[in-house]
Amino acid sequence: MLITAHGISRKYDRTRSSQGSLQVLSETDLTIEGGKIIVIYGRSGSGKSTLLNILAGILSPSSGTVRYDGRDIYSLPDRELSVLRCKEVGYIPQLHSAVGTLSVRENILLPSAVIGNGKENLKSDELIEQLDLKEICNVRANVLSGGELRRLSVARALINSPSVIFADEPTNDLDDDTSQLVLQQLRLAAQNGAAVVIVTHELFARDYADVLLRMQQGSLVREKG
């Protein structure tokens, strides 16, 4: 998967409050290649999550284009974009989005319901083992700790072996050992050919970067790669 973003920006209209508009993301170009990890770091409110959501097909840019292997994703019909995201994109949200009434395993398997390829159970077993979820795989999500929910989100993002993975603060709520476990899983996904984009404020996550970018007041500064 090759993702190319050209001239993407995002601003919010605040004319009703007589304060004009708020520019969250300045015009930005970015190329994302399979097999590499891009780490974007910066302070809260710098525009990291906005950029990630635009790249992931969740938030339309105010200007510019995002292309997946040449396809302008924001020109696609909503249904087609949704199917593309389910098949090709793994997304680890900053906030927890598990379905509380479902078990850990059932939550992990949710994205595979759309594209079922017959290997979902085998893949879920593998992820449950790798992310140390085996003892709670049949526990309902509404009684999990923050760290357990985070690991569930990682497993769910990886269940369809996506071509690109977007991770918004994936080590939030985790201790050092579990943070390393999650980052190792993302490194493994990149080694298997996926493009991985991580936004974070954790300093140690930079050690996993093939490309390191700093977000500063809505603009990207390249520091490595």
**pTM beyond 0.75, yes or no:** yes
CATH code for the domain of 147: 3.40.50.300
Rounded-to-integer distance, Cα 6 and Cα 29, Å: 5
For the chain, how long is the longest CA-to-CA vector? 56
Q: What is the DSSP letter of 140?
A: B
State pLDDT tens for residues 131-173.
999 999 999 999 999 899 999 999 999 999 999 999 999 998 7
Query: How many residues comprise the chain?
Result: 225
Q: How far is CA 40 from CA 93, 129, 147, in A?
A: 15, 29, 22
Sequence-separated (6 or more) residues with CB below 8 Å from residue 207: none
Per the structure, the count of domains in the chain is: 1
The residue among 37 and 17 whose pLDDT is bigger is 37
Name residue 82's amino acid: S
Domain that holds residue 73: 2-224
